[in-house]
Structure 1
Amino acid sequence: MAPATQYELSPPPGDAISAIVFAPTSPTKLLVSSWDKKVYCYNIASGPGETNLTDAYEHRAPVLDVCFGADDNEAFTAGMDWGVNRINLESGEKTLLSKHEAPVRCVVYSPEHGILVSASWDCSLNIHNLKDPSSETIKISLPGKPHAVAASPSKVVVAMTGRIINIYDLDTMKEMFASGGKELKPWQQRESSLRFLTRAVACMPNDAGYATSSIEGRVAVEWFEDTAESQARKFAFKCHRQAAPDGDGDVVYAVNALAFHAVHGTFASGGGDGTVALWDAVAKRRLKQYQKFPNSVAALSFSNDGKYLAIGVCPGFETGQDDYTGAGQTAVLIRELGDNEAKGKAAK
């Protein structure tokens, strides 16, 4: 088996990375959103040492999240301009879908339902039925400020301040549009298994559950099924910690990013300690930890075929910079995974 390769994309974003996402079909196309007010579109098929950037899409303010839409040529963004935008990646045309009353932190799209959900720091969700352009955007109030959102084939998970996690059912959302309703209750509301602020959420590709991470070096894994047996399976563990220089305890870092492998169901975590680790949620063990990067790992994404892992690296809050800038210190790295690299222990 050939050794795994890893290389940087060129050119990198001009400031800190907020999100990375691979295309739903092409395993070599990905989008990166940045605090420099742009979304970058890369094609990694050109390989290392080449210019991988195919286009960049300017916004009015820093972009906090990006996702693909119904195909590889449609994207949606959330940003500090309070807007939710659709981008035609072929023509470059940008269309405002809706506005919030504060910056928009997250945006996720369900291809199965044609529904786009945006979450804003105004404590609301905007729900868009994109299969019916004539339908109005529905605004839903949240009990807390959202910090992370993820979608599975049937659910949307929203993690908020106060350790609140709301889980919404996408079929119910679709029915709400069909009936003309304006009210949407969560399918479940849970208290986070983590004691500190949630930094990232990712859903299992088999639609069974999700993982969350916190600013205090921990990850929790939970299942959707609300039975005693299923809930007894949930667990949390410490990670992204380093021994203190004086030998007294650990230095604890935020776990900024989570991403599930679409084929094997294992997941990756990225932290403020500049490392990426691979985990087997079923076996409850770490599979691998990669070399330390020079800056914080801010974002992660696996390609749809599971062959590539994109890693966004930039300075984080742990640097202690008074005048923060990610300019010149930001990198997007692509790791080409070995055949068994992301397989769980039971699958080998």
Structure 2
Amino acid sequence: MSLFGQATATTVSSATGDLKSDVEVPQPPEDSISDLAFSPQADYLAASSWDNKVRIYEVQSTGQSVGKALYDHQGPVLSVHWSRDGTKLASGSTDKSAKVFDIQTGQHQQVAAHDDAIRCVRFVESVGSPPILATGSWDKTLKYWDLRQPAPIATVSLPERVYTMDSVHPLLVIGTAERNVCVVNLSEPTKIFKVAMSPLKFQTRSIACFAKGDGYAIGSVEGRCAIQNLDEKFQKDNFSFRCHRTQGTGTSDVYSVNSIAFHPQYGTFSTAGSDGTFSYWDKDSHQRLKSYPNVGGPIACTTFNRTGDIFAYAVSYDWSKGHSFNTPQHPNKIMLHPVPPEEMKPRPKRR
């Protein structure tokens, strides 16, 4: 049984929020939105898309957004991530390359290459170190790149194609095909510390590291999420729960958990799915903090800004039903949702 689902219907109903204050970002991508990332230093929001482009928006104090920059790849862009100092944005594409955009100069250049599509990019440097970019690919490798060098500084073989990846120093977690989960301690970046099977029964869709880097949450196509602590003394607290599902009479509709994002201040987290809804959760007290109604289409990706008071989500086709369902009538937009502190603060554990 879902641990979060133990709340009564009255409790969950009273915790349902509204979307009336959400603000739409102007000039969205022209095709499905694959990833969103806020800068850790400013309210710059990056969006990657299947239209081969990366866009950067500046979110102003009014909540309105303006275009800041745009650059291209030769194929759909699947992932974006900012450097720790906020000066550089990395992007990975099906054109088998990763590029880095310099926010100060407005220039971009290719910095990485694989033998197949680059599914995920993450800056993994420690504080005060030169930028190091990790790229995960469908060619079943993880590569590390020093942006000052043209060749990778290390290559790590993986058991399968990379589907999702996240990092909070010193933790790097990679979800691959066939439900493999590879855990890397970045103090030894070329060694896979642990390879485990996902605790969920079906294909991995999303992974996000805890805010303190001591564990991760993993979501799958079956509408379930699992909480995984790395410290052995806390692994008894590992659990999974149902989230993006709707219960009918004798049936249950199951939706993919497309995105998981941890709040930078409170360590609580969001899930969003192909059912077009998102919810906030507290893993430590096993409670759902807030749920939101359907936004009119699948939510493909999400992110919190650096202070945690803005939650960005993309209403976009998530390719779960193949290319034939990606019609021009499908919604494709980026929304900014204000996050009052009381919505994300942890709750006392139930007795």
The residue type equivalent to 1:18 in the other structure is S
2:222 maps to amino acid: E
CA contact (8 A) 1:34 1:64 kept: yes
Determine if contact 1:82/1:100 at 8 Å carries over to the other structure.
Answer: yes
* TM-score normalised per structure 1: 0.89
Higher mean C-alpha deviation, range 61-70 or range 83-92 = 83-92
> What is the aligned-residue RMSD (CA, Å)?
2.1
How many residues are matched?
A: 328
Q: Which runs of 5+ in 1 are unaligned?
A: 174-183
Residue 248 (structure 1) aligned to one of 247, 250, 258: 250
Deviation per CA, 1:207-252, whole angstroms, max 9, x where unpaired?
A: 2211000001000001111x2x3221100001111134xx231100
**Whole-angstrom distance in 2 between the partners of 1:316 and 1:164:** 22
What's the TM-score once normalised by structure 2's chain length?
0.88
Q: 1:103 to 1:47 in 2, by over 3 A?
A: same
Q: 2:103 aligns with which of 82, 89, 95?
A: 89
Counterparts of 2:328 and 2:72 in 1: how far apart (Å)? 18
Matched, 1:21 2:62: no
The CA distance in 1 between the partners of 2:179 and 2:22, in whole Å, is: 36
1:108 maps onto 2:122 in alignment: yes
CA gap of 1:342–1:254, structure 2 versus 1, over 3 A, is same
Instruction: Quickly say closer, same or farther: Cα 1:208–1:243, change in 2 above 3 A.
Output: same
- Which stretch shows the higher mean deviation, 153-162 or 64-73? 64-73
Measured after TM superposition, the shift of residue 5 of structure 1 is 2.8
CA–CA separation in structure 2 for the residues paired with 1:23 and 1:276: 22
Q: Which residue identity does 1:243 align to in structure 2?
A: Q
Matched ranges for 1:182-221 at <5 A:
184-221=190-227
| Equivalent of residue 80 in structure 1, options 94, 109, 121 | 94
Confirm or deny: 8 A CA contact 2:282 2:346 kept in the other structure. Answer: yes
**Alpha carbons of 1:72 and 1:328: their partners in 2 closer, same or farther (altered >3 Å)?**
farther
Q: What is the aligned counterpart of 2:303 among 284, 298, 301?
A: 301
Q: Which runs of 5+ in 2 are unaligned?
A: 1-18
Partner of 2:9 in structure 1? none
- State whether residues 135 and 143 of structure 2, in contact with CA within 8 Å, keep that contact through their aligned partners in structure 1: yes
**Among the aligned pairs, what percent are the same residue?**
29
Q: Within 2, Cα distance between the matches of 1:37 and 1:85?
A: 12
Instruction: Kindly provide the amino acid, as one letter, of the partner of residue 343 in structure 2.
Output: E
SS at structure 1 position matched to 2:22? strand
What do the CA deviations read for 1:138-172 (whole angstroms, capped 9, x no partner)? 22211111100000111110111222111111111
**In structure 2, distance between residues paired with 1:107 and 1:243:** 36
- 2-structure distance, mates of 1:157, 1:79: 20
- The answer to whether the 8 Å contact 2:112/2:152 transfers is no
Q: Residue 263 and residue 70 in structure 1: after superposition, are their counterparts in 2 closer, same or farther (change >3 A)?
A: closer
Q: Which residue does the alignment assign to 2:271?
A: 269
Map 1:136-175 to 2 at 5 A: 136-173=152-189
The answer to whether residue 127 in structure 2 is matched with residue 125 in structure 1 is: no
Distance 1:67 1:295, change over 3 A: same
C-alpha distance in structure 2 between counterparts of 1:133 and 1:318, whole Å? 38
Match of 2:26 among 10, 24, 35: 10
Q: Compared with structure 1, are the counterparts of its residues 75 and 99 closer, same or farther at alpha carbon in structure 2 (3 Å cutoff)?
A: same
Contact 2:173 2:183 in 1 (8 A): yes
Q: Distance in 2 between matches of 1:289 and 1:32?
A: 24
Contact 2:31 2:50 in 1 (8 A): yes
Amino acid at match of 1:52: V
**Cα separation, 2, equivalents of 1:239 and 1:334:** 22
Structure 1 pair 55/327, CA: closer, same or farther in 2 (3 Å)?
farther
